[in-house]
Structure 1
Amino acid sequence: MSQQINLFNPIFLKKKRVFGAVPMLQALLVILLGALALGGYARARVGELEQRAAAGKLLLEQREARLAKVTAQFQPRLANPALAGQLANAELLLKSLRDAEAVLHNGRLGNTDGYAEYFRALARQNVGGLWLTGVSIVGAGHDIGVQGRAMQPTLIPNYIARLNAEKIMRGKTFASLRIERAMLEPAAPAPVAAPAAMPISAPLAKLAGVAAPAPADAAPAPPAATAKLAPFVEFSLQSSMPEAAK
């Protein structure tokens, strides 16, 4: 009978040391170098931030000094009662002007464009043998009066129709028309000179049996002048507006 005897003992094997002195020294050196690099970067970063903070502080001091200077130059003034009264008056005047403008734009006063367009319309309607001697416009053009002369009475209806065709005259009607034959004023007669005569005294005239002559400054009475009819007629037009438009 055979028997095997194992004489190997693991205790006698050479053990491998993982954390030896040299590796630990190398790791410590790496950690030390990393800490030194990180500290240098942190110091540089802190220095940069300190420079920015100093610059910001200097700028803030300059702004505060400027603000103090401006505040000293432009100190708040006390309210002036006179200026307050003037401001109140100006506001009242502005309100009244705005009210007047609103009234004008609302058309409560009628036509606010003036009378130029009426005269343009009268000038455009030019009829031969008819001319105007007077024009009257009341208020905002509600009532218009026209006076003139015409060589023939038949020209007047044509003139009225042409006036009614004007845009500015629409809505207006001539309620009254008066036509009459004009009279020419008689010319003053020329003075008649007294006949020349020898002066005769009153006693000599009595002896001669004649009447004593009238004084030299006594002129004979002029003949009575007669009026003549004019070759034209005079007319007068008066317009009227409907009550709803007034």
Structure 2
Amino acid sequence: MIQQVNLYTEDMRPRQELFTATRLAGVVLAALIFVVISAGYASWQASGSGADRQAAQVRLAEIRSDLADVVTQLEGRTADPALAAELERLNLDLQNRVALITRLENLALRGAQGFSPLLTGLSRQAVDGVWLTSLEVDREPGNLVLSGLTEEGGLVPYYLEQLRLEPAFAGRRFRQFRLEQIEDSKGVLGFSVGSAIAIGEPEQ
């Protein structure tokens, strides 16, 4: 009997957050500017003498200048394309890992004890730039097929070597390896690999 698990469902796709770090920083800075200016204005209003007013105005001008420098520095950082791309990649990788672990835990709770050791091993081994999208398990002969996406073809063999460190994958041979370019994916590759228990080796 073949059991297929889809690990790349709609709820796993990264969602665009309403409040990104850049937007949140802008809101915080706007609020800070408003508070500082309001406080300075109130201080100026409360001052009784001309000298106190002049001192408050000078201080307020200095605060405005400092805040303008902070805003300029923040805008320069968020406008860095390399930094923005790296943050987006890390965020996507984190979301995919959390979604995968959550889905595997849910499957285990639904009574998927027949291949839970395999799922546990998969959840423990994660390689940057490699994402599983589906898992097919044939429980009778102990065969399985892993399918996924990768940013670099050379990462898949390394990922398979990491899987061999898991007890559930001990004694397994990976075969029928396939790697292909995904259309309109900007360099993302699709892969699939079959695994079978080596003759004479018991399944863990």
Same fold (TM over 0.5): no
Q: What TM-score do you get using the length of structure 1 for normalisation?
A: 0.34
Bigger Cα Rg: 1
Q: What TM-score do you get using the length of structure 2 for normalisation?
A: 0.41
